A and B are shown apart, each in its own frame.
Chain A
């Protein structure tokens, strides 16, 4: 697994910022198309274009690519504790995206989670309102490995018949949370899973069936 980060690395202040996309316009476009494609076809995976240098830990390269594609001064971002404790990560995000970094998950447009196994419940994020369901948080789980953990069955918009999806690490009752997230449709959060090189997504519209072990 790629995220074996127990102590956040504090190398921020003196070392120079690592670079973003080599070609900001076309790399961001390619990343967006990958994210759009997986959001429109839940359970499928797409390759991301990475930044030209490795971002500061515990921010993974895939998470950095998604951040540079979607974040800017309009999108308050919530970071989980390991990311929040790293000055280097905050400096990297502030410099490249200009996004305000928040400690209140309910106010965030995006949430970056570097330790999914101990992440806070999905219900703590902004769920959107009945009138404006689009204002909910998009939660990005980083350091994911696809196809190893127990699979769930997906159905709904973007999926022809059904699809199988498996990702990890996730918190213990994660899939129950995703099921209740879908039940409150059109409100609810959208999930993006960032692996080593690939990305997958589960929008709130996807119905989940847990497969018995």
Chain B
């Protein structure tokens, strides 16, 4: 028994922090969200011991679904070891005492801030998204009464006008993240600020997707194998970002890359945003063009030290 388990036995927290009535309320909202894919179910979001913007919605959803046998993975912009992921993982280690992991395939529940793992998820996994603004129409129409009516009437003309204006101004659809999707041919939904690179993964995904927005008090869901279409036009079809180079460390292609600054003389490299994917590939012996570069090696070494810690 570790320290956290002892704390739990002393009754410091209920399992996974939330009280049982709150969990039931969230669980009911999740069931309705699953039954109406893409529809935002209002729920009585609680104040959590972390500020809004740190994933209070995702944390409440995770706390409601998590069981003692689950294995939890937390990612923040694809990475397991950045601030948000580290603190939320610590939160659940302390309050639920569940097993946590960095490995995508080992996790049963994955809470994510704005990325979907590169590795294909399975039917036995649940992906929980942290959502800042759940309403895709909010920046076009600030009134909740109106956006609610627009969803009820399936009136999404405004969203198409916005995408059209993108084309008129920039020559292409300039939305690169939080790219609106239509779920099951009915509701237009914000897939949280994930890069649009990840939108194709949402479509017909084998895993259940749950979205939690704490400040805005909304929960929504996409069941497995649900049709999710990124909005576009016949002559301007939806396209994902393309990278001209592979990952500098593991050489992976067709993955989402982050820019890493190496020095103050303009040195930089592009590496996998999904840190677990990158590490797994390097462990298998894949190397990228900059894997031997001392500046890059220093960064990877540091990461690996933190990973093993």
- Asked whether, in the complex, the Cβ of A28 is within 8 Å of the Cβ of B36, the reply is no
Contact A186 B187 (CB under 8 A): yes
B184 touches A157 (CB 8 A): yes
Do A29 and B25 touch across chains, with their CB atoms under 8 A apart? no
Whole-angstrom distance between the alpha carbons of A37 and B225 in the complex?
13
Asked whether, in the complex, the Cβ of B21 is within 8 Å of the Cβ of A72, the reply is yes
Could you tell me if B186 and A185 are in contact, using CB atoms closer than 8 angstroms? yes
| Contact in complex: A157, B225 (CB < 8 Å) | yes
Contact residues in B for A13 (Cβ distance below 8 Å): none
Count of chain B residues near A, Cβ 8 A: 43
CA distance A62 to B36 in the complex (A): 25
Q: Are B67 and A26 in contact (CB under 8 A)?
A: yes
Q: Within 8 Å of chain A (Cβ to Cβ): is B68?
A: yes
Which residues of B from 215 to 242 have beta carbons under 8 Å from A? Answer: 221-227
Known contacts A72-B24, A131-B148: A36-B36 contact under CB 8 Å: no
Q: Contact between B20 and A40 (Cβ–Cβ < 8 Å)? A: no
Q: Is A102 located at the chain interface by the 8 A CB criterion? A: no
Residue in B closest to A134 when the chains form the complex, CB atoms: B32
Interface string of A25-40 (1 = CB under 8 A from B): 1101110110111011
CB proximity to A under 8 Å, residues B134-159: 148-149, 151-153
Q: Is the CB of B27 within 8 A of A32?
A: yes
Given the complex of chains A and B, what is the CA–CA distance between A111 and B31 in angstroms?
15
CA of A130 to CA of B186 in the docked complex: distance in angstroms?
Answer: 12
Is A75 located at the chain interface by the 8 A CB criterion? yes
Q: Mark A66-101, 1 if CB is under 8 A from B, else 0.
A: 000111111100000000000000000000000000
CA distance A131 to B155 in the complex (A): 12
What is the CA–CA distance of A44 and B232 in the complex, to the nearest angstrom? 34
Contact B25 A74 (CB under 8 A): yes
Whether B68 pairs with A41 at a CB distance below 8 angstroms is no
Tell yes or no: B160 within 8 A of A by CB.
no
Smallest beta-carbon distance B227→chain A, Å = 8
Given contacts A25-B20, A26-B67, contact A70 B28 (CB under 8 A): yes
- Identify which of residues 166-191 in chain B touch chain A, using a CB-to-CB cut-off of 8 Å: 184, 186-187
CA distance A39 to B126 in the complex (A): 14
B28 contacts which chain A residues (CB < 8 A)? 70, 75, 109
Bits for A17-54, please: 1 = Cβ < 8 Å to B, else 0. 00000001110111011011101110000000000000
A186 → B minimal CB distance (Å): 5
Contact A130 B153 (CB under 8 A): yes
Q: Closest Cβ of chain A: how far from B292's Cβ, in Å?
A: 44
Q: Which of A25, A33, A72, A158 contacts B225 (CB 8 A)?
A: A158
Q: Is A12 an interface residue, CB under 8 A from the partner?
A: no
A190–B36 CA distance with the chains assembled, in angstroms: 10
Is A156 interfacial (CB-CB < 8 Å)? yes
Contact among B32, B65, B186 for A32, CB-based, below 8 A: B65
Q: Check if A39 sits within 8 Å of B67, measured CB to CB.
A: no
The answer on a CB contact under 8 Å between B184 and A131 is no
Contact A157 B14 (CB under 8 A): no
List the B side residues contacting A130 at CB < 8 Å.
Answer: 152-153
Distance in Å from the Cβ of A37 to the closest Cβ of chain B? 8
> Shortest CB–CB separation between residue B110 and chain A, in angstroms?
15
How far does the Cβ of A32 sit from chain B's closest Cβ, in whole Å?
5
* Contact sample, A vs B, 9 pairs, CB 8 Å cutoff: A26-B67, A26-B68, A33-B67, A36-B30, A132-B42, A157-B184, A157-B223, A190-B32, A203-B36
Known: A70-B24, A75-B28, A138-B31. 17 other contacts (CB 8 A): A26-B67, A26-B68, A28-B20, A32-B65, A33-B65, A33-B67, A36-B30, A36-B34, A36-B65, A36-B208, A41-B224, A134-B36, A157-B37, A157-B225, A157-B227, A158-B223, A158-B226
Residues of B near any A CB (own CB < 8 A): 14-15, 20-21, 23-25, 27-37, 39, 41-42, 64-68, 123, 148-149, 151-153, 184, 186-187, 208, 221-227
- 6 nearest A-B residue pairs (beta carbon): A203-B35, A158-B223, A130-B152, A134-B32, A157-B226, A157-B223
